[in-house]
């Protein structure tokens, strides 16, 4: 019974935190993480991103209404994995991604070209991300703070969720 009550309390707390009108450091951390360091169209997801936003602090609130929020924040950008591990994970992502195949033989040549171009685009995008992160942060290692970021973050409330504006 105690486990059930504890689980219900945790679930209701998480539900209320997700629906809260108040922006806090946890909300900002989640929004900054997903909007800046995860790019699903390039294969950089929560599982493959090399960086995590840690120790976010709100230094100054500039605007706080029911639908708009703007604040100056600072946070540490910490490497989840090394540059080499990120490069390997991006190679795995590109190896898995292929254009959908056609059901008819007449479209076979078209699909072969489409698949080749799709694979080339994914490989190029992955390589560009690896090179860009390497150029910006050097040969980073897992657990290393690669940058301390100070920025202004603007959020807008859309469908009861805060998103980067």
Span 119-138, pLDDT tens digits: 777 778 788 888 999 999 99
What is d(CA 32, CA 151) in angstroms, rounded to the nearest whole number? 10
The residue among 118, 128, 138 whose CA lies nearest residue 77 is 138
Share of the chain above pLDDT 70, in %: 79
Q: Which domain holds residue 23?
A: 2-164
Could you report the per-residue pLDDT of 145-160, keeping only the tens digit for each?
A: 999 999 999 999 999 9
**If pLDDT is split at 50, 70 and 90, which confidence band does 1 have?**
very low
The residue among 62, 52, 78 whose CA lies nearest residue 151 is 62
Number of domains in the chain: 1
Task: Count CB-CB contacts under 10 A for residue 162.
Answer: 21
Confirm if 82 and 138 have CB atoms less than 8 A apart: no
What is d(CA 32, CA 37) in angstroms, rounded to the nearest whole number? 8
pLDDT higher than threshold 80 for residue 103: no
Confirm if 59 and 72 have CB atoms less than 8 A apart: yes
């Amino acid at each position: 019974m105690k486990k059930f009550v504890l689980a219900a309390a945790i679930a209701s707390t998480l539900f209320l935190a997700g629906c809260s009108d108040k922006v806090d450091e946890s909300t900002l951390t989640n929004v900054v993480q997903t909007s800046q360091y995860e790019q699903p169209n390039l294969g950089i997801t929560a599982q493959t991103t090399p960086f995590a936003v840690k120790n976010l602090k709100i230094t100054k609130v500039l605007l706080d209404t029911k639908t708009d929020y703007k604040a100056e924040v600072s946070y540490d950008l910490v490497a989840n994995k090394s540059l080499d591990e990120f490069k390997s994970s991006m190679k795995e992502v590109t190896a898995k991604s292929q254009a959908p195949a056609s059901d008819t033989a007449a479209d076979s040549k078209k699909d072969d070209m489409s698949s080749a171009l799709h694979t080339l685009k994914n490989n190029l995008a992955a390589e560009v991300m690896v090179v860009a992160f390497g150029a910006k942060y050097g040969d980073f290692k897992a657990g290393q703070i690669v940058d301390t970021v100070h920025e202004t973050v603007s959020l807008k409330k859309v469908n009861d969720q805060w998103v980067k504006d």
